[in-house]
């Protein structure tokens, strides 16, 4: 599928707080924990538990969420399909959309039981 300006804008305006409970619900159904998800978020964005909660309380949009984030230098290693999109093929003009799909991909891997060590990408030497 192709990313459009409309899809990018829609996700930019969506609040992290509106999606967060759904993330946690699915993870817990699959035997994973909120703490593990927070570890994944912290790796990707640099946000600790307190900052994540602040962003939820502020009802920060995904646009604000990722503007305030310091993406991990290895985020570019997150590849594959998520929500019908091949992450590495999302054009640079839709960087926010790609960043949201990074989070979705890490979340999906966590929900599917992948080990944290594998989810938190490390550059191969």
pTM of the predicted model, to two decimals?
Answer: 0.93
Domain tally for the chain? 1
d(CA 35, CA 40): 9
Domain housing 100:
5-119
Tell me, yes or no, whether 18 lies in a domain: yes
Query: In this structure, what CATH number is given to the domain that contains residue 41?
Result: 1.10.8.290
Name which of 99, 21, 34 is nearest 64 in CA terms.
Answer: 99
Better-scored residue on pLDDT, 123 or 55: 55
pLDDT at 82: 92
Report yes or no on 125 lying in a domain: no
pLDDT over 80 (residue 124):
no
Sign of CA dihedral 83, 38, 76, 97: positive
Q: Show the tokens assigned to 123.
A: 């550059």
Q: Is 46 among the domain residues?
A: yes
- The pLDDT value given to residue 83: 84
Which one, of 38, 5, 14, lies nearest residue 116 by Cα?
Answer: 38
Structure confidence by residue, pLDDT tens digits, 83-107: 889 999 999 999 999 999 999 999 9
Q: Is residue 124 situated within a structural domain?
A: no
Residue 54 lies in a domain: yes
Helix (H, G, I), strand (E, B) or coil at 23: helix
What CA–CA distances, in Å, run from 72 to 14, 25, 29, 43? Answer: 22, 26, 28, 6
Model pLDDT for residues 11-41, shown as the tens digit of each residue: 999 999 999 999 999 999 999 999 999 999 9
């Amino acid at each position: 599928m192709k990313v459009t300006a409309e899809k990018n804008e829609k996700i930019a305006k969506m609040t992290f707080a509106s999606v967060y409970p759904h993330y946690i619900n699915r993870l817990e159904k699959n035997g994973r924990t909120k703490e593990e998800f927070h570890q994944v978020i912290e790796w990707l964005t640099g946000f600790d538990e307190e900052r994540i909660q602040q962003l939820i309380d502020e009802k920060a949009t995904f646009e604000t969420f990722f503007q305030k984030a310091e993406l991990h230098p290895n985020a570019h290693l997150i590849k594959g399909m998520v929500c019908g999109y091949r992450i590495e093929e999302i054009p640079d003009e839709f960087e926010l959309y790609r960043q949201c799909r990074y989070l979705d991909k890490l979340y999906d891997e966590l929900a599917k039981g992948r080990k944290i060590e594998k989810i938190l990408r490390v550059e191969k030497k």
